[in-house]
Structure 1
Amino acid sequence: MSKRWLLVGTWCLALLCSAHAQADGIVRIDPLAADSGSTAKQHAGIFAERDFIADPDTPSVIGNGQWRLQPAAGIDQPLLLVYHPYSARVSVQGPGLAKPVTQTLFDRDLDPQYSRHALVFPLLSDAPVDIKVEGARYPLQVAVVPRTRHIAHDLTQVRILLLSVGVLVGVSLTVLLFWAMLRERVYLLYAATMALQMLFLLCSYGEAYALPGLRALAAFGAPGIWFIATLSTMAAVWMLQDYAGLRLRVPRLSRAMRWVGIYIPALVLLLLVAPWPARKEWFPNVGNALFLLTNALAITALYRAWRRGGRHAGFILIAWVPLVFFSTARAIQLSMGIPVEPWLQYGLPLVLAFTAVVLALGLADRMLTFRRERDTAQQHAERDWLTGVLNRGGIEHRLDWAVLNTRREGMPLSLLFLDLDNFKQVNDCFGHALGDACLRAVVRLVSEELQYGDHLGRLGGEEFVLGLPGADSTRAIAMAEHLRLKIQAQCEQVEGVPAAVTVSIGVTQCNATDTVATLIKRADKAMYIAKHGGRNRVATLEAAAV
């Protein structure tokens, strides 16, 4: 019962995706008497073996066996086309041909002026021809069309295929460069997945066997296509696990995906290349069932991960669902002998290119997300939790770069060391909460005077340092005096309490031998000179020496 409903659902999907095309340039197709070595049994490539019976009302589909085809009259330069032959071996003879011809998709000597999505047999007239089909796993679509029309359609398909392959190659190489720099596995998995998807596309459309670098794949025949298709699915599952973080967000579905999409297919591939079992006809049915189940699990897992806040799972859903739909619809139509409509035939390469671009955009967004998280974590690690300015480690790191730049560029660098006067008494008299408010008030007033490139940091307690790249001692002293007066005037009261906050500031300028430690030490000494001079003042070591 379940199998019957599965087939009914499959037929409904196929009928929704495409309508039956009427006979194209063919008057009728009649089966010939089968010899002892032929069979009318047809292996459906999606689910199970089924009987193939030619429909006299739609003479455009043939299966294994021998057939007599009557072309329509009046076709200019007629070409007999056998679409999507894959494993089939097709022989054509009769008065309509100059000589008997046998072709397979994997032959090296096919006419190079045509693409390989169909086997092409030029006819000399509208006389009937005999066709023998061997090794076909599903019904084959045939047509007789004028040569000019076929060339026009062929050229359109080749252009779309080349455009899609160009996008896939360009995006994959770009992501591969990111992997070479970042060494993050998901970028390598993406490049491998797209490369295998592209290879499968070229093999399934037959164009791989016409390219110099890929012609050797023809030696493996249809099992080579099955192998590449399964390998691409395994790579895709592995990539999706890392890309969308499925192991953490949906662990059970992720585990099921790995079993159905990686572990079991790996075992099936081992059986495919092993000498036992000798017959491999079972593989497409098993492989296609695993393909459908894997994609059903993947879409479910991605949807749940997205609903649980997985932003990148959403990118994959946008990219992956159209690809799964087009791939499944095309496989079902081919397996059932339903003509593949142009929108589906041309759309699959374009959808694959769309998938590659959207996934690459998702990787870029993923990189930006990780970068923001890293920057946020770094900022938290370098910031003082109370005041929001740089902590001791953060300010020393910034000053280290400033000192190096001073030596390299010869630009001046000055440092201000600020210490709040009588801060212990403020804490003792008014409490630590007000002391914290005083620190924040001073930071706010100083921050209002900062220019681009200035660095303010808290060393600890009530001590702050302010780095002023590009400022000599004269300008730094003026800045310090301005800050002293501003703090004295605006921190007379803090949160309504007469705290009377003032600061003592030490000023020094970086010299050729200074390090961050020596620069801070000299500014600290200058600050203590200001303290000993009565507080609430600005001092420098140079002025003290004079």
Structure 2
Amino acid sequence: MQRIAMAIMLCLLALPGPASTAEVERLQHLPDLPASSMPAPADVLALPDSAFEPVGNVHRLAGDADGRGWWRLQPGPASGTEPLLLVYHSYSARVTVMAPPDYRPVTRSLFDRSLDPRFSRRALVFPLPAAGPVFIGVEGARYPLQVAVRDADAQLAEDVVHVRLISLVIGVLVGISLVVLLFWLLLRERVYLLYAATMALQLMYLLCAYGEAYALPGLRVLARFGVEGIWTIATLATAAASFFLIRLADLDQHVPLPSRLLRWVGGYASLVLVAVLWLPWPSDKDWFPVAGNATLMAANVLALVALGAASWRRHLRAAYALLAWVPLVALSTARAVQLSIGAPLTPGIEYGLPLMLAFTAIVLVLILADRMLTMRRERDSAQLHAQRDALTGVFNRSGIEQRLDWAIVRAREHGGALSAIFLDLDHFKEINDSHGHAVGDACMRELVRVAGGELAYGDHIGRLGGEEFLLVLPGSDLHQARRTGECIRRSIEARCAQVDGIPVALTVSIGVATYRMGDSVASLVARSDLAMYAAKHAGRNRVEAAPAA
């Protein structure tokens, strides 16, 4: 798994960087905006050059404390046939551009349905039909926006790579989530539903943050919720991931305190935040990004602490979950920091997050598979122990009758031979009365040890109750079964004269019956039982066979 992570990191480093942008000769900011509103576009056009302050050759729009601002940008000479102004990762911002020759204001946001379908939505695209200064107005920005002037062909070529990578991640997450959701429908195990919910919410947040959700049929409806919709999806993803990691790695059992904190902070607190967000009051929702980001950071820290503590205690599933979660948290944090300071996103950060999300989904589903196998082994072990006799270690009555039933089905379908041997200790009550039940128990264990040594591969032995035992011999006819019974009788007579140093002169009476068409478990056991009683009546310490027909 570590090798897979290294391979993904190498792929990220190999991704091509963004193509070079056209030179921006001058970027000027209009300071001292009114507190209540933005200047109207017509008013901005009427302002003299002296109203704009030079801010240097910096390709970003910072805005004031309220995320608002006007800039005047002077592009360099156009290098292509169709120059474009690009505003990257606009998120919640509404951007208005007035470009020559007519300087008609064009306002766009990530949530608009009418954006140019030729381009992806990681950038708002504004054509620049003619040379001259461009005015850019920003409202609702929560971090500095990256701007660039590029040729349309270069942008289209870069968008092809972008769309292919995002489509790859979508395919992986949707495919795995649907399979796991089917597991939940069949098994009704909550961890599978939590996995599907976590991956679906992570994918929806990714698509909304990149803007691609608002161009997809079925998801376009999310645009009407605006940035509050993105906040809701991100916070619900935090809650689902917290509950999922707790259940996946059994954190409640291994690290109760960090698990409890993660459940309350990452899970319940996130759900409360979402509920408060959609209340009609307060109408100003600017408090939510701070509260949501704080909850997300606290949840991530608690998840890493809990998984790390469980890994330290050698819980393998927690260790693998930690391996998957650390790079995802690191990349998402790095992306948030770079956006908040207005630094350009490198390809490793921009595409590392979706690719690492796909890697995380694969690792987590492998952990789910391991969890399923572990539960299956535990179930099989529990069933096996439920069919074992606690005293002798062989099958109990239910277990040996089940093996006999399977053998009858195979004999009926394939026509093979099958025999049953009914074995009963002679004078067992006298042994218990004379030497105590501890010696009697030792006699039964010794009988199992000696008789088991005479059985062939595929034969079974079980205790029906008391001192009665049943042997199932698939593939043995009456002659072979009788010979096996005789070997067992002689071995017990010879090797069990003393048990635990006490002379008990242990012998057995054995009845043999072979399967005949129409036999059931009950009828075959009954016939071998009758043969055993015939051996008892004939003097004990002998083998008798039931009639074959």
What TM-score, normalized by structure 1, do the two folds share? Answer: 0.85
CA distance in 2, matches of 1:189, 1:318: 19
Counterpart Cα distance in 2 of 1:372 and 1:343: 41
Give the Cα–Cα distance (whole angstroms) in 1 for the partners of residues 218 and 442 of structure 2. Answer: 72
Q: Residue 59 of structure 1 corresponds to which residue in structure 2?
A: 59
Alignment of 1:413 with 2:418, yes or no, is yes
Partner of 1:365: 370
**How many angstroms does 1:407 deviate by?**
5.0
* Match of residue 31 from structure 1: 29
Q: Which amino acid aligns with 1:79?
A: L
Offset of 1:223 from its aligned partner?
A: 1.0
Q: Which residue of 2 aligns with 1:117?
A: 122
Give the alignment of 1:323-472 within 5 angstroms.
323-407=328-412, 411-423=416-428, 436-451=441-456, 453-472=458-477
Residue 200 (structure 2) pairs with residue 202 (structure 1): no
Q: Aligned to 2:389, what secondary structure does the other structure show?
A: coil
Question: Among 521, 527, 536, which residue is 2:532 paired with?
Answer: 527
Q: Deviations over 1:457-483 (max 9, x none)?
A: 012343211112343323322332333
Per-residue Cα deviation, 1:19-55 (whole angstroms, up to 9, x for no partner): 9x9986323311135554239xxxxxxxxxxxxx985
Question: What is the aligned partner in structure 2 of residue 73 from structure 1?
Answer: 77
> What residue in structure 2 maps to residue 322 of structure 1?
327
Query: Structure 1: how far apart are the matches of 2:267 and 2:55?
Result: 40
Distance 1:54 1:368 in 2: 65
Cα 1:401–1:185 change in 2 (3 A) is same
Shift of 1:234: 1.4
Separation of aligned partners in 2, 1:97 and 1:328: 42
Q: Distance in 1 between matches of 2:456 and 2:123?
A: 70
| Contact 1:27–1:59 under 8 Å retained in 2 | no
- Judge conservation of contact 1:96–1:129 (CA < 8 Å) in 2: no
Distance 1:306 1:24 in 2: 50
Which of the residues 214, 229, 251 maps onto 2:219?
A: 214
Other-structure match for 2:134: 129
Alignment of 1:143-158 (within 5 A): 143-158=148-163
Letter of the 1:150 partner, please give it: Q
3-state SS in 1 of match to 2:547: helix
SS in structure 2 opposite 1:468? strand
State the Cα RMSD in Å: 3.0
TM-score, with length taken from structure 2: 0.85
Going from structure 1 to structure 2, the CA distance change for 1:412 and 1:301 (only over 3 Å counts) comes to: same
Alpha-carbon distance change, 412 to 120 in structure 1, aligned in 2, over 3 angstroms: same
The answer to whether the Cα contact below 8 Å between 2:28 and 2:55 also exists between their aligned partners in 1 is no
| Aligned residue type for 1:297 | L
CA 1:265 to 1:341, structure 2 compared with 1: closer, same or farther past 3 Å?
Answer: same
Cα gap change, 1:54/1:332 in structure 2, threshold over 3 Å: closer, same or farther?
farther
Q: Equivalent residue for 1:233?
A: 238
**Residue aligning to 1:14:** none
Contact 1:85–1:140, Cα closer than 8 Å, also in 2: yes
State the alpha-carbon separation in 2 of the partners of residues 98 and 26 from structure 1. Answer: 19
| Alignment partner, residue 507 of structure 1 | 512
Cα deviation per residue 1:300-356 (whole Å; 9 max; x = unaligned)? 122223334543322321222221111122112212212211101001011111111
SS in 2 for 1:86: coil
Equivalent-residue separation in structure 1 for 2:156 and 2:500 (angstroms):
85
**In structure 2, what is the Cα distance between the partners aligned to 1:98 and 1:492?**
112
- Say if 2:97 and 2:107, in contact at 8 Å, map to a contact too: yes
Q: Which residue of 2 aligns with 1:289?
A: 294
Cα distance in 2 for residues equivalent to 1:91 and 1:98? 11
**Is the alpha carbon distance of 1:221 and 1:483 closer, same or farther for their aligned partners in structure 2, counting shifts above 3 Å?**
same
Unaligned 5+ runs, structure 2: 1-16, 40-52
The Cα offsets for residues 102-155 of structure 1, whole Å up to 9 and x where unpaired, read as 211111111111110111123345533111111211110111233333223222
Partner of 1:38, secondary structure, is: coil
Query: SS state of the match for residue 526, structure 1?
Result: helix
Paired amino acid for 2:332: S
